[in-house]
Structure 1
Amino acid sequence: MSNELQKPVIGFSCGDLNGIGTELIIKTLSDNRILDICVPVVFASNKSINFYKKNLPDVTLTYQATKDITRLNYKQLNVVNCWEDDVQITPGQLNEIGGKYALISLQQSVQALKAGQIHGLVTAPIHKKNIQSAEFNYSGHTPYLKAMFNADEVVMLMTAENMRVAVLTEHIPVKEIAVHITRENILKKLHILHNSLQKDFGIDKPRIAVLGLNPHAGDEGLIGNEEETIIKPAVKDARHKNMMVFGPYSADAFFARGQYNQFDAVLAMYHDQGLIPFKSLAIGEGVNYTAGLPIVRTSPDHGTAFDIAGKGKADAASFLAAVYNAVDIIRSRATWAESHANPLKKISARVLANAEDEKIEESEG
């Protein structure tokens, strides 16, 4: 692996200026050990950084401020000044300023990603309604990044030490969920999830569980027929494409009985079906990863937390985990690309994966 990817350049968008995003960035990047694994670049302004830094007297933060991303200090935290305005920051308040500058930060960080000036992006939380404008007509980061990178499809994937949960539908009203449960959509998401588990997480033969839509996975058609007419056929389609996919499972029993421990990832049908058990059962800190993009983007698994913004109370653990995840995924992609460019390494990886799969089958038997 090249030295460049051993220490990738990681960008940080600041999120809503009145939320906890900047505080999380300061707390995370004040630990100089982060410089051992990446070169951090914050897209904001030194004025906004200094504003929140004043509320954290016990935190020491040194950085280089620049307007030119091509002139980074690779041994220090870099702050790219995205605006010169004297912005009035009002922690905890939902207003136009918070959304306006969150978008400016996001736009400039995405531009840097497209130009290859940064290798990955960690996004601080935005307020999904507050950021809406003519330039941002999306329900969140995930659909925005999908559009910016012209991705055919992406998957919102929540990751933790003991589980990975993806969702088929994201931020849509509950009454519209069933419309999006189609055989084609499920197969697309499974394909992206399967490829991501291989390339981004280094799992050669991933095992994926699919949840049902209805209570008790439909009880063989007694409580809705989506499982019989849509989900089961999609699972069969995936198997025919050499993916190890199983289900559909009844969501409540699946999580209550710990069946998720037997799989590398779970595909839930809708947001709360997947994220409620994830946030209840995940060990360690949860991270939101956008699978299916040509670039690497992660974020913490929480929102703007206006109620504690500016008070120095924000817990940066999930944000730090998002940084580690971004670096790990970048390295995993590089390793995967290298091994698949070398036939001998590819064969070796396959032999090891087959041996591991035989162990799993024996234990299940």
Structure 2
Amino acid sequence: MEERLIRVGITQGDMNGVGYEVILKTFAEEMMTDICTPVIYGSLKALQYYRDTLTDITEPVIPNVIARAEEAEEGRVNLINCVAADCPIAPGESTAEGGMAAFASLEAAVADLKRGVIDTLVTAPINKHNIQHDGFHFPGHTEYLEACFGENGVYRSLMILTSDRLRVALVTGHVPLASVASHLTPEAITDKLILFNTSLKEDFGIVRPRIAVLSLNPHAGDAGLLGEEEETVIRPAMAEAKKKGVLSFGPYASDGFFGSSTFQLFDGVLAMYHDQGLAPFKALVMDEGVNFTAGLPIVRTSPDHGTAYDIAGRNRASEASFRQAIYASIDIYRNREAYRQATLHPLRKEFVDKVGKDNVKLDLTQEVEESEL
């Protein structure tokens, strides 16, 4: 039986931002529906409105409106209408209605992700303020999805910004700068290093990842003159992660680390706080960057930009990052499946009888050092 294409669920985000513009520009390329089956959760009215603003697209997207994700057709851009038809469209404005529509789209997509009728999730940007209400009281998508797919603390999320040239993960995400130091503990950093290492292997196919760790203080603390967190918090965390098989290096002062292109020597970079990691990432690879939520049992990506109200509805938004988010979701989904298949039936350790006597019994449950084999 022929396998179906990966079904990618797409949320509309804030309908007054650039979400629909980047979605429509991405799928105006016919080859995109050759590699996946898109299912947009949103508003037919809004899609048609923004489609009319894209005057330079010769083959505009004609959506296949469906009631359920199971009805999605390959080779088509499918849309599930989950936003009220009378929801007002106000490009460039933050409105309560826009926030509620964004949540309705996200809620519907998450429900289908839980049912297994879509394979991955790609989210268009939301406004973190107007989406807040009784059903959504989170700093962003990452925390909401962690709450949706967490099981008694089993799943913990990790924000990774990724491109072909650079991968950056964060110890602290949406945390005020004044509170960062209080959130940095050896346990927290160790946990993030383990999560990052696991994701690099399972989601990106890197057999033995090398992770660079950034310092908190200028000049990596300058031997205690500019701060002690490097010696009292970060290095102990790295030492503990090493016991778990994580190869980490540093801590490096972030200015010289990025300025000298040292990041090119590593498979991933762990930053202590949001802007420390995202500012250089966006300066280096803004158009090709993707936000990936690692550590969860589902695959979720998004473009690395926001709603961009200032250019909404003006046919000026670049779809490059959104297109890369689609590619990344497909690649990560396939990498996870390949890793699962490769580790499904691991070989047990072989023990060698060095004594040479037939009556020597070998305990196959006992761990031994490689040097003893």
TM-score, length-scaled by structure 2: 0.89
Corresponding residue for residue 158 of structure 1:
161
Residue by residue, what CA displacement relative to the aligned partner does 1:295-330 show, whole Å, maximum 9, x if unpaired?
Answer: 000000100000110111110000000000000001
Give me the whole-angstrom Cα distance separating, in 1, the residues matched to 2:137 and 2:291: 21
| Counterpart in the other structure of 2:50 | 52
Cα contact 2:155–2:296 (8 A) shared by 1? no
- Map of 2:333 onto structure 1: 330
Match of 1:340 in 2: 343
Q: CA RMSD in A?
A: 1.6
CA change 1:88–1:284 in 2 (3 A) is closer
Give the match for residue 178 of structure 2: 175
Task: Tell me the distance in 1 between the aligned counterparts of 2:260 and 2:119.
Answer: 39
More helix by share: 1
Q: Mean Cα displacement is larger for which, 202-211 or 276-285?
A: 276-285
State the secondary structure of the residue aligned to 1:32. coil
Please say which of residues 317-326 and 50-59 is displaced more in the overlay.
50-59
Is the CA contact 2:149–2:155 (under 8 Å) kept in the aligned structure 1? no
- Are the equivalent residues in 2 in contact too, given 1:9–1:119 (CA < 8 A)? yes
Residues 160 and 284 of structure 1 are in contact (CA less than 8 Å); yes or no, is this contact kept in structure 2?
no
Separation in 1 of the partners of 2:62 and 2:132?
33
Matched, 1:305 2:308: yes
Contact 2:69 2:118 (8 Å CA) reproduced: no
Corresponding residue of 1:356: none
Distance 2:83 2:68 in 1: 12
- Name the CA distance, whole Å, in 2 between partners of 1:170 and 1:178: 12
Structure with larger Rg:
2
Give the match for residue 256 of structure 2. 253
Could you tell me how far 1:243 is from its partner in structure 2? 1.0
**Alignment check: 8 A CA contact 1:67 1:80 kept:** yes
Match of 2:226 in 1: 223
Change (3 A) 1:165 1:130: same
Deviation, 1:342, is: 4.9
Q: Deviations over 1:168-205 (max 9, x none)?
A: 11111111000110011101111111010001000010
Q: Is the contact between residue 12 and residue 43 of structure 1 (CA under 8 Å) also seen in structure 2?
A: yes
- Tell me if the contact between 1:160 and 1:283 (Cα under 8 Å) persists in the aligned partners: no
Aligned residues: 343
Deviation at 1:73, TM superposition (A): 1.3
Deviation of the 1:29 alpha carbon: 1.3
* 1:154 Cα deviation after fit: 1.1
Q: Specify the SS of the correspondent of 1:161.
A: coil
Q: Post-superposition shift, 1:167? A: 0.8
Equivalent residue, structure 1, for 2:102: 102
1:12 equivalent in alignment to 2:10:
yes
Give the aligned partner of residue 351 of structure 1: none
Quick check: 1:39 aligned with 2:37? Answer: yes
The alignment partner of 1:282 has SS state of helix
Matched, 1:114 2:110: no
Gaps of 5+ in 1: 345-365
Equivalent position SS for 1:70: helix
**Which residue is equivalent to 1:353?**
none
Letter of the 1:48 counterpart: A
Distance in structure 2 (CA, Å) of the matches to 1:69 and 1:298: 19
Unpaired segments of 5 or more residues in structure 2?
Answer: 348-373
Q: Structure 2 matches for 1:139-288, cutoff 5 A?
A: 139-150=139-150, 152-282=155-285, 285-288=288-291
Which residue identity does 2:162 align to in structure 1? T
1:133–1:28 Cα change, 3 Å:
same
Q: What is the alpha-carbon distance in structure 2 between the residues aligned to residue 56 and residue 248 of structure 1?
A: 47
Letter in 2 for 1:164: R
Identity among equivalent pairs (%):
47
Inter-CA distance 29–202: structure 2 relative to 1 (3 Å threshold):
same
- Residue 39 of structure 2 contacts residue 79 of structure 2 at CA under 8 Å; is this kept in 1? yes
Alignment of 1:22-33 (within 5 A): 22-33=20-31
* Residue of structure 1 equivalent to 2:75: 75
Query: Is the CA contact (8 Å cut-off) linking 2:286 and 2:304 kept in structure 1?
Result: no
CA gap of 1:207–1:2, structure 2 versus 1, over 3 A, is farther
Instruction: Kindly indicate whether the alpha-carbon contact (under 8 Å) linking 2:123 and 2:302 is maintained by their aligned counterparts in 1.
Output: yes
The residue type paired with residue 18 of structure 1 is N
Q: Give the letter for the 1:213 counterpart.
A: L
How far apart, CA to CA, are the structure 1 residues paired with 2:221 and 2:104?
46
> Which stretch has the larger CA shift, 334-343 or 26-35?
334-343
Query: SS of 1:341's equivalent?
Result: coil
Aligned partners of 2:164 and 2:197: how far apart in 1?
Answer: 18
- Secondary structure of the residue aligned to 1:158 is strand
Offset at residue 152 of structure 1 (A): 3.5
| Structure 1 pair 282–87 and aligned structure 2 pair: CA distance change class (3 A) | same
